[in-house]
Chains A and B, each alone.
Chain A
Amino acid sequence: MILLKNGKIYDGKGDILEGADILIENGKIKNIAKSIEAKKDMEIFDVEEKVIMPGFIDSLNVWGCKGPGWEDDDLSEHSNPVTPQLDVMYSFDHDSMLFQRVFEYGVTSAGITPSTSNVLGGHAAVFKTYGQHPYEMLVKKQVGMVSSVTKTIKKVYGSRNESPMTKMGAIALLKEALIKAQEYKDKDEKEYDPKSEALQKVIKRKLPLLINCSTKAEMDAVELALKDFPVDIVFTGAFGVHDNLGQIFKDNFSIILGDLTAAISYENSKVDFEAVKKMINKKVDVAISSCGDYTASGKESLLWNAILYYKYGLDENEVIKMITSIPAKILGVDDRVGSIEVGKDADIVIWSDNPIKTYNAQIEATFIDGKNILNSRRENTCWS
């Protein structure tokens, strides 16, 4: 058992508990209270004047699926623009994830996704960022269906004189696949179609469509195109987020904001932060991530993005939620991670100060499943 004594706890849902203790047992949070009695068999961390936060969650990333060589990419299945039948869990190399050491910057879970260069790319999954076995690190498989309508797809397929060469081409492929899946569902006698099979959960609102859009026009086009389909929508990237987003979807959608640190994608310089605030006020779930068409983010990237969204005017506590409980909710893993609550996985980070507000904040411990893994290393892999 581990006892964190007397910390300032940000629970990830917007509440701050001053001078409270956290008891960890069997990898889970067992109790949160003032003055939990210390016992002999407990390892005690005095966290007075420290800041305790839930482990951060980067919603959409490539960690674990690229490298070790520059050309090794297990996310971009560019043999066809419509590949919903794929599942990223078969591309995930846990040594590749461990090599990133993202837990040194407080990230304890990450949504890993096929690349955004297919119209339908396949299933995303959520993994812990440290562990001894990839399937033990797997928090949940099939958390969303990755989709995209950005110019990245056009570049891949259009340059081969294949569809989609245009945005309307991309949207046509998306609609076609969804219609086919609906008709497939209603057929009594059918020939096995892996793509339509894979989309069944999507058209029954059991699996959200994580649809990558950079510009306002792309998001508007998606609203218009999908208005009659029974699908749940999460806009990802979403740099063109604007006041009247949701004209058709109302507030039945979520947003995972993309990376602000790279400058090669000019779209991310046009984010309207006031519109982001309006979406939050409308009770739309908005998460921060380091995703995007051009990014290959590192361990620092999620925190940097949180810092930049804070710097550009979002509220400090809101920003913390946007990298903890909100991504957990959007990805459907909030039963296990994303907040400091009794019964949740003990994915907890001890900071010397609030990292959203000052650069002079160091990590003193990162717990994943109740184990402080901050200084852990896996030796003897092809990655080390």
Chain B
Amino acid sequence: MLVIKNTKIYTSADKVYEKGDILIEDGKISEVGNSIDCKNREVIDAQGLVTIPGIVDAHSHIGGFGLDMNDQDLNEMTNNITPEVEAVYSIDTKSPMFKRSLKAGITTSAIAPGSGNVIGGLVCAVKSHGHNIEDMCIKNPVALKMALGGNPKGVYGKRNQMPMTRMGIASVIRETFTKAREYMEKKQKKDIPTDLGLENVAKVLKKEIPLKVHCEQFDMLTTIHIAEEFDINFTLDHAWGASDYYDDIVNSNCKGVIYGPIGVLLLPGECGKIDIESLIELDRRGVECAIMTDGPISNPDVIIVQAGEVIRFGGDIKRVINMLTINAAKIIGVDDRVGSIEVGKDADLVLFDGTPALDTDATAKYTIINGKVFDIEKDKFTFDC
């Protein structure tokens, strides 16, 4: 058993303790409060430290890309739709990115297929530490990845194949969902051969998982429109230009906006509008908002830097910490396990020597994952409970 003593706690469950304690038992949070008994228990004196839930990165590709973009296992670009593939089988759990994530305070990542295909495959939620993928993956699938715009156009258009245009992309999506709907109906009536891909698309139609859609600007409207037609849930990932479509997003089946990465060269067209401040308004209007690294596009530290940009535009620190934690956990459907500091949840915590996203030099001192304490200065796990 471990007690974290005298720390400021952002629980991401409404409450902020100016000075509180957290008891960890068997890898779970078993008590949060003031003056928890320390007798015969391991103690971290966290006086002066700020504790938040382990950060949840709701859109990443770590472990699936190597040292350059060509060394990759997440874009199966042999067909414009590959709903049958699952990212979980492509993750190199020994990738140094997991340790970098842990040191930055990211304890869970939604790892998605890339955006080369219109439908890329299944997304899974993975912890930053564990012995193997069975150990690390806490939920699979969490979503079906889809991509609109320049990415799939760039891949298939160059081959003189569909989609070469945005209307081509919309047509591919509609065709896929129509086929999946028919497949579901037929499958119910008689014994037809299993189609692995359509089975996965059916999960979206049955609202077991949302579509995770790479889109920006007016491609968001395409997503909203098609999702309405097929009555499915979706998340808007990247979401550059969201500030043009507040009403459309708020009144749709959007289950969350996962923003980022910013800090990129601007080009007219889909890379021309960066408006991370839109998260403040979307959050105010009840949309779950989160921030992504798109790792390894951005370094894990940059998830906090981007959260800092929301602060720069006037965001409230408590709401912004929610964006790094509970909101992301809800969006990817793992909030029963992670995302907040509440009794019964996994003991995933980060202890900073300042307020992350506010103080630029706030640095993680300890990352606790499943109750295992990683001491960042010592660069190793020091305690397991």
Chain A residues with CB under 8 Å of chain B are: 62-63, 66-70, 99-101, 260-266, 268-269, 294, 296-301, 304, 307-308, 310-311, 356-362, 382-384
The reply on B264 being an interface residue by CB < 8 A is yes
Judged by a CB distance under 8 angstroms, whether B67 is at the interface is yes
Report the minimal beta-carbon distance from B280 to chain A, rounded to whole angstroms.
13
- Name the segment of B47-55, B213-221, B300-308 touching the other chain: B300-308
- Residues of A near B301 (CB, < 8 A) are 260-261, 308, 311
Neighbouring A residues of B97 by C-beta, 8 Å: 263
Compute how far the CA of A265 lies from the CA of B297 in the bound complex, rounded to whole angstroms.
Answer: 9
Task: List the 7 closest pairs (A to B, CB-CB), nearest first.
Answer: A359-B308, A296-B265, A263-B296, A67-B267, A263-B299, A300-B263, A307-B360
A-B contact pairs, 6 of them (CB 8 A): A99-B268, A100-B266, A261-B305, A356-B360, A358-B359, A382-B268
Q: A310 contacts B360, CB within 8 Å?
A: yes
Q: Is B289 an interface residue (CB 8 A)?
A: no
CA separation between A310 and B265, bound complex, in Å?
23
**In the bound complex, how far is the Cα of B97 from the Cα of A193, in angstroms?**
48
Q: CB distance B308 to A62 under 8 Å? A: no
| B1 contacts chain A at the CB level, 8 A cutoff | no
Question: When chains A and B are docked, how far (Å) is the Cα of A262 from the Cα of B150?
Answer: 21
* B69 / chain A contacts, CB cutoff of 8 Å: 264
CB of A298 within 8 A of CB of B305, answer no
Complex Cα–Cα for A298 and B263 (A): 4
Q: Considering the chains assembled together, what is the distance between the CA atoms of A90 and B279 in angstroms?
A: 40
Question: Is B360 a contact partner of A269 (Cβ separation < 8 A)?
Answer: no
A261 x B274 contact (CB < 8 A): no
Is the contact region of chain A dominated by helix, strand, or loop, or is it mixed?
loop
Partner of A383, one of B268, B293, B309, B359: B268
Give the nearest-CB partner of B270 in chain A.
Answer: A70
Q: Which residues of A contact B297 (CB under 8 A)?
A: 262-264
A69 to B264, CA, bound (A): 15
Cβ B268 vs Cβ A298 within 8 A? no
State whether B100 touches A263 (Cβ < 8 A). Answer: yes
Q: Are B96 and A266 in contact (CB under 8 A)?
A: yes
Residues from chain B with Cβ under 8 Å of A359 in the complex: 308-309, 311-312, 357-360
Is the beta-carbon distance between B305 and A269 smaller than 8 angstroms?
Answer: no
Residues of A with C-beta under 8 A to B363: 311
Q: What B residues does A358 contact at CB under 8 A?
A: 358-360
Q: Does B26 contact A (CB under 8 A)?
A: no
Determine whether the beta carbon of A300 is less than 8 Å from that of B358.
Answer: no
Asked if A357 and B299 make an inter-chain contact with CB atoms under 8 angstroms apart, the answer reads no
- CB–CB A269/B265 < 8 A: no
From A261, A269, A361, contact of B100 by CB (8 A)? A269
CA of A292 to CA of B360, assembled, Å: 23
When the two chains form their complex, are residues A264 and B296 in contact, meaning their CB atoms are under 8 A apart?
A: yes
Q: By CB atoms of chain A within 10 A, which of B97, B266, B301 has the most?
A: B266
Enumerate chain B residues within 8 angstroms of A299, measured Cβ to Cβ.
Answer: 266
Give the residue name and chain of the A residue nearest to B261 (CB). Answer: A261
User: Contacts of A361 on B, CB cut-off 8 Å?
Assistant: 312
Q: Residues of A contacting B154 with CB < 8 Å?
A: 70
Q: Cβ of A264: which chain B residues have Cβ within 8 Å of it?
A: 65, 67-69, 296-297
Instruction: Report chain A residues within 8 Å CB of B58.
Output: none
Does B74 sit within 8 A of A, measured CB to CB?
Answer: no
Given contacts A261-B299, A297-B264, contact A360 B311 (CB under 8 A): yes
Closest CB of chain A to B292's CB: distance in Å? 13
A67 to B267, CA, bound (A): 6
Residues of chain A lying within 8 A (CB to CB) of residue B269: 68
Q: Which of A68, A266, A269 contacts B267 (CB 8 A)?
A: A68
Cβ-defined contact, A263 with B267, below 8 A: no
Given contacts A263-B298, A294-B68, A357-B359, 9 further A-B contacts (CB under 8 A): A62-B265, A67-B265, A70-B267, A262-B299, A263-B100, A307-B360, A358-B358, A358-B359, A359-B360
Taken together as a complex, chains A and B put the C-alpha atoms of A311 and B104 apart, in Å, by: 12
B351 to chain A, nearest CB (A): 16
A262→B65 CA distance, assembly (Å) = 13
Give the docked Cα–Cα distance between A62 and B96 (Å). 29
In Å, the complex CA distance between A297 and B96 comes to: 24
**B150 and A360: CB pair below 8 A?**
no
Bound-state CA distance A294–B274 (Å) is 20
Cβ-closest chain A residue relative to B308: A359
A297 partner residues in chain B, CB cutoff 8 A: 263-265
Tell me whether B295 is interfacial, beta carbon within 8 Å. Answer: yes
Report the nearest A residue to B360, measured CB to CB: A307
Contact with A along B351-383 (1 / 0, CB 8 A): 000000111111100000000000000000000
A358 to B362, CA, bound (A): 10
B262 interface hit (Cβ, 8 Å): yes
Asked if B268 and A67 make an inter-chain contact with CB atoms under 8 angstroms apart, the answer reads yes
Contact A300 B309 (CB under 8 A): yes
* A311 contacts across to B, CB distance below 8 A: 301, 360-363
Produce 1/0 per residue, B79-106, CB < 8 A to A. Answer: 0000000000000000011001000000
CA distance A198 to B276 in the complex (A): 44
CB neighbours (8 Å) of A296 from chain B are: 264-265
Residues in A neighbouring B296, C-beta threshold 8 A: 262-264
Nearest residue in A to B103 (C-beta to C-beta)?
Answer: A269
Tell me which residues across on chain A come within 8 A of B65, comparing CB atoms.
264
Q: In the complex, A362 Cα to B150 Cα: how many Å?
A: 33
How long is the Cα–Cα vector from A382 to B272 in the complex, in angstroms?
12
Chain B nearest Cβ from A365, distance in angstroms? 16
**A240 CB → nearest B CB, Å:** 15
Distance, CA A264 to CA B65, complexed state (A)? 8
Evaluate contact between B263 and A362: CB separation under 8 angstroms: no
**If A100-B266, A308-B305, A359-B358 touch, does A298 touch B299 (CB 8 Å cutoff)?**
no
On chain A, the residues within 8 Å of B309 by CB distance are 300, 359
A301's partner among B263, B295, B300 (CB-CB below 8 A) is B263
Instruction: Report Cα–Cα, A91/B363, bound state, in Å.
Output: 41
- In the assembled complex, which residues on chain A have CB atoms less than 8 Å from the CB atom of B262? 298, 300
B201 to A: closest C-beta gap in Å = 30
- B69, closest chain A residue (CB): A264
Q: How far is the CA of A247 from the CA of B153 in the complex (A)?
A: 51
Instruction: List the A side residues contacting B362 at CB < 8 Å.
Output: 311
Chain A residues whose CB sits within 8 angstroms of the CB of B274 once the complex forms? 298
Given A100-B265, A261-B263, A296-B264, does the pair A70, B150 have CB atoms closer than 8 Å? yes
The reply to whether B268 and A357 contact each other, CB–CB distance below 8 Å, is: no
Q: Quick one: which of A69, A101, A269, A356 contacts B299, CB cutoff 8 A?
A: A269
A335 to chain B, nearest CB (A): 30
Q: Which residues of A contact B300 (CB under 8 A)?
A: 263
- The CA-CA distance from A356 to B359 in the complex, in Å, is 9
Assess whether B361 is in contact with A357, with CB atoms less than 8 Å apart: yes
Shortest Cβ distance from residue A130 to the other chain B in the assembled complex, whole angstroms: 15
B299 and A66 contacting across the interface, CB-CB below 8 Å: no
